[in-house]
Structures are given as C-alpha cells and as structure tokens.
Amino acid sequence: MYPELTCHVMLIVAQPKLISTLHDYGQIAVISAGENHSLAATAGGDLYSWGYGQQGQLGHASSKNEKIPRLVQTLSQARVAVVQVACGWRHSLALSSDLEVYTWGYGDKGQL
C-alpha cells in the first residue's frame, strides 16, 4: 500500500556482548564509540571501524554502513600506525605514532 515505507528493525542489547570478530585482528589497544559508529585500533596500529557510515565517518571512501569491524585501508596502505582514536557525531579522528592527527567524515561546522 505504501511502497516508500520500509521496516526498520531496532536491535537492543541490554547486557555486554563480546565483539568476537575483533579477536581476529590482534590485540585491541584503544576504542571509541560515536553516536552510531565505533573505532578500534590494534596494538600494531591498524584501525578498524564499523556502524553507520553515511557521512564517510568510517573512513572507507564510501557512505556504506558496516555491520562488522573493517580495516581502514587508507591509513593501513600509508603505513600510518594509529595509537589513539575518537568518534564524534558523524566524524572520526585518529592520532598516529608520529603524532599526526587524521580526521574524516561530516565536517560542516569546521570539525575536520
């Protein structure tokens, strides 16, 4: 009757849940959670992101959402070792071992 309407399923997890896929990537050193996305960096400096990606805040050069942690290839290919991360509303930041700051996502207020 209303083809433009879609059904959205809200998932609520009321107790801590292990993100088992992160075990495959090595020891996690730092994490951050934004409104709808998350970042995790390994002890070796690799950065993974997942969640809502419509404004590019996941760093995958797309606006695709990711249900499981995915390596941020741009930083990995540039051999940037991430030591700290932060998630904003729809933007992300990473601090490298060389003390350089990288940022990406939605930046209409100058936050990038």
Q: What is the pLDDT of residue 77?
A: 97
Judge whether 79 lies within some domain: yes
List own/partner pairs for 96-104 with CB under 8 A and 24 or more apart: 96/45, 97/45, 102/75, 104/56, 104/57, 104/59
**What pTM was estimated for this model as a whole?**
0.87
Tell me which residue range forms the domain holding 38: 20-102
pLDDT in tens, 12-61: 888 998 888 888 999 999 999 999 999 999 999 999 999 999 999 999 99
| Number of structural domains in the chain | 1
Q: How many C-beta atoms surround the C-beta of residue 16 within 10 A?
A: 5
Judge whether 2 lies within some domain: no
User: Which tokens belong to 10?
Assistant: 């809200």
Q: How many residues does the chain have?
A: 112
Q: What is the pLDDT of residue 20?
A: 87
Task: Please give the mean pLDDT across all residues of the chain.
Answer: 91
Q: Given pLDDT bands bounded at 50, 70 and 90, which one contains residue 2?
A: very low
